[in-house]
Amino acid sequence: MDRVDAAVVLGLLLFAILYALIRADYSLPPAEDAAMLMRYAVHLAEGHGIVWNIGEKPVDGATDFLFMVMVAALIKAGLTPEVAARSLIFVCHVLNVFLIYFSLRFLFSINREIALLPALYLAAATGPLYIVTCFGAPVFALFASITWFFALKLIFIGSSRYTQLAFGLFSLLTGLIRPEGVILTLLMLFSIIIAKGIRESRFSILLWIFFVIILGGFYFLWRWHYFGYPLPNPYYKKGGGILYFSSLIDSYRAIETFGILFIIINAIGMLHSEWRRATFALFVPVIGFATAFILISNEMNIFKRFQYPILPILLMSIYPAYSILKESIFLSDKHVNSKRMFTLYFVLMSILLILSYTRQTMMRDVKLYYDSRRDIGAILSKYKDRNYWIAITEAGLIPFYSGWNAIDTWGLNDQWIAHHGMVTEQYLDQYKPHIIMFHAYFSPIVKEQVANKANKWDEMVLILQQYAEKRGYILAAVYGETPYDTHYYYVRPDFPDSQNIVKEIRSVKYIWHQSGKQCINFADFTPPLRGAHTMFPTAK
Instruction: Quote the pLDDT of residue 208.
Output: 97
User: 377: closest CA among 462, 487, 458?
Assistant: 487
User: 124: closest CA among 357, 418, 433, 458?
Assistant: 357
> Which H helix or E strand runs over 401?
helix 397-402
Taking a C-beta distance cutoff of 8 angstroms, is the pair 418, 411 a contact? yes
CB atoms under 10 Å from CB of 398, counted, come to: 27
The one-character DSSP state at 531 is T
Taking a C-beta distance cutoff of 8 angstroms, is the pair 366, 303 a contact? yes
Give dist(CA 108, CA 322) in Å, integer: 10
Flag whether pLDDT at 196 surpasses 50.
yes
Give dist(CA 112, CA 463) in Å, integer: 60
Give dist(CA 335, CA 325) in Å, integer: 16
Q: What is the mean pLDDT of residues 40-58?
A: 96
User: 92: closest CA among 145, 26, 39?
Assistant: 145
Is the bond leading into 81 cis (omega within 30 degrees of zero)? no
Q: Which amino acid is at 365?
A: D
Q: What is the mean pLDDT of residues 86-99?
A: 97
Q: What is the mean pLDDT of residues 328-339?
A: 54
Q: What share of the chain in percent tops pLDDT 70?
A: 88
Coil, strand or helix: which one is 99? helix
Q: What is the mean pLDDT of residues 384-401?
A: 95
CB within 8 Å of 229: residues ≥ 6 apart: 60, 236, 415, 419
- Sorted by where each begins, the domain ranges of the chain are 3-363, 373-535
Q: What is the mean pLDDT of residues 133-157?
A: 96
Flag whether pLDDT at 273 surpasses 90.
no
pLDDT digit string, tens, across residues 16-46: 999 999 888 899 999 999 999 999 999 999 9
Instruction: Quote the pLDDT of residue 423.
Output: 94
- Residue 296's alpha-carbon distances to 37, 236, 347, 355, in angstroms, are 19, 9, 40, 31
Give dist(CA 391, CA 519) in Å, integer: 22
- Residue 266's alpha-carbon distances to 227, 341, 535, in angstroms, are 43, 22, 52
pLDDT digit string, tens, across residues 439-465: 999 999 886 444 455 588 999 999 999
Give dist(CA 86, CA 88) in Å, integer: 5
Flag whether pLDDT at 112 surpasses 60.
yes
- Residue 179's alpha-carbon distances to 121, 140, 185, 392, in angstroms, are 27, 10, 11, 26
> Which H helix or E strand runs over 5?
helix 3-23
Flag whether pLDDT at 214 surpasses 90.
yes
Q: What is the mean pLDDT of residues 510-528?
A: 86
Instruction: Quote the pLDDT of residue 341.
Output: 56
Flag whether pLDDT at 200 surpasses 70.
yes
Taking a C-beta distance cutoff of 8 angstroms, is the pair 97, 18 a contact? no
Give dist(CA 499, CA 342) in Å, integer: 75
CB within 8 Å of 290: residues ≥ 6 apart: 251, 252, 254, 255, 307, 310
Taking a C-beta distance cutoff of 8 angstroms, is the pair 60, 227 a contact? yes
Where residue 295 falls among pLDDT bands split at 50, 70, 90? Answer: confident
> Rounded to two decimals, what is the model's pTM?
0.90
Where residue 257 falls among pLDDT bands split at 50, 70, 90? Answer: confident
Flag whether pLDDT at 534 surpasses 50.
no
How many residues are present in the chain?
A: 540
Backbone φ/ψ region at 78: left (φ over 0), alpha (ψ -120 to 50), beta: left
Instruction: Quote the pLDDT of residue 346.
Output: 64
Sheet holding 486-491, edge to edge: 405-408, 389-392, 435-440, 486-491, 474-480, 520-521
Taking a C-beta distance cutoff of 8 angstroms, is the pair 207, 167 a contact? yes
